[in-house]
Amino acid sequence: MKAIIMHKTGGTEVLHYETFPTPKPTANEVLVKVHAATVNHTDIFHRSGQFFIQKSLPHILGMDVAGEIVELGAGVTDWQIGDRIVATFEALGRERDGAYAEYTTLPTNQLHRIPDGLSYIDAASIGLAFTTAWIALFYKGLLKQAERIVIHAASSGVGTSAIQIARWQKAQAIAISDKNKAERLHQLGANFVIDRHSPDLVEQVIEITKGEGATLILDLVGRTTLRSSISMLAKNGRIVCAGTLSGDIAEINVMDLLMKNATIHGSFALIQPQDFEQILQHFAQGIFQPVIDSVFPLQKASAAHERIEAKQAFGKIILVPDL
């Protein structure tokens, strides 16, 4: 099979389009023909060495996959050849070879059926981005209707997912992103969009919320935004950190946190299977919309990584092996 192979960590030049042995499914696994794989920031962190790949090299990246089952391993009874599936889980592309390939093997306990009417590309785009937003907002942030929620990095895959979830929950969504992406963010459901380069970010949030501040903040950026997140927070507000796009170490004023009786939560958990099923059904029903930035052929994985690193993407970038 053809795959994007890493023989070492580094820049985009370490991603090589090569012939690689097609994997064989072991017991309780299936072999999947990949129709679409998503490019995530996590892939870039693994490629660069910022996150550790927990297997020996060479390695195949890719944590999100949509495709069809072409072979069953021993003991597989609930799935059939030809079934359309989607999967996303932490071990994929980190502890085992991932989805940047024509074929990949997957354990059956991580498979979800793609609903009728949902394409492989759309299904793959949901994966890590939407589940990360869901976990952060519901499991950690305890999102309720009528919240005033600020979303940093709002044009990212997780950010656009969070905006749609906020709209669905009838929350007031304040998106922070680049000015030229405002129209598309409004179309997704953002009530307000603030230019991330504005020197008065905090003041604008306070004004929008009529002096009260945000009740919930989704911080995907980390080092450069956490202090301002506390400043724009309401009394008893919550910050959920689900990413560190600008760096892992942040300096904050703890007294500001104390005086607001506020909390900061880290979000790193697994999606409950029934919640992933609900998300897929909501996409099939049109409640949520796929946000696809662009589709690249698999062999152009380096260009896809470069587009994300240049902060050019709006939503998800998809790799397609047979494009």
pLDDT per residue as tens digits for the range 93-121? 999 999 999 999 999 999 999 999 999 99
Please provide the average confidence, as pLDDT, over all residues in the chain: 96
Task: For residues 65 and 104, state if they share a domain.
Answer: yes
Q: How confident is the model at residue 323 (pLDDT cuts 50, 70, 90)?
A: confident
Answer yes or no: do 110 and 91 share one domain. yes
Q: Where are the alpha helices (DSSP H) in 172-295?
A: 182-188, 201-208, 226-231, 254-259, 273-284
Q: What is the number of structural domains in the chain?
A: 2
**Number of DSSP helices (H) and strands (E) in the chain, helices first:** 9, 15
Boundary (domain end) residue, out of 225, 241, 266: 266
Instruction: Indicate the DSSP class of residue 101.
Output: B
Let me know whether 262 and 279 are in one domain. Answer: no
In a domain, 252, yes or no: yes
Give pLDDT, residue 247. 83
Please state which of the ranges 19-28, 54-63, 175-184, 251-260 shows the lowest mean pLDDT.
251-260
Same domain, 102 and 146: no
Q: Tell me: do 64 and 98 sit in the same domain.
A: yes
Task: Give residues with Cβ within 8 angstroms of 173, minimum separation 6.
Answer: 149, 151, 162, 163, 166, 167, 189, 190, 191, 192
CATH code where residue 229 lies: 3.40.50.720
Looking at the fold, whether 64 and 92 belong to one and the same domain comes out as yes
Residue 279 lies inside a defined structural domain of this protein = yes
Residue 315 placed within a domain: yes
pLDDT above 90 for 305: yes
Show which of 228, 248, 266 is a domain's final residue: 266
Provide mean pLDDT across the span 269-276.
94
Band of the pLDDT at 245, cuts 50, 70, 90? confident
What CA–CA distance (Å, rounded) separates 190 from 171? Answer: 10
- What's the pTM value of the predicted model, to 2 decimals? 0.93
Q: How sure is the predictor about 92, in pLDDT bands with cuts at 50, 70 and 90?
A: very high
pLDDT over threshold 90, residue 267 = yes
Q: What is the pLDDT of residue 279?
A: 97
Range of the domain at 312: 2-126+270-320
So what's the pLDDT on residue 149? 98
pLDDT mean over 142-157: 95
Mean pLDDT, residues 256-285 taken together: 95
Per-residue tokens: 64: 């999100």
Kindly indicate the confidence band of residue 180, based on its pLDDT and cuts at 50, 70 and 90.
very high
Q: How far apart are CA 27 and CA 34, in angstroms?
A: 20
Please give the backbone phi and psi of residue 143, each rounded to the nearest 5 degrees, phi first.
-55, 135
pLDDT given at position 252: 87
Residues 112 and 52 grouped into a single domain: yes
The answer to the question of residue 136 being in a domain is no
Kindly indicate the confidence band of residue 244, based on its pLDDT and cuts at 50, 70 and 90. Answer: confident
C-alpha triplet 253, 241, 161: angle, nearest 5°? 140
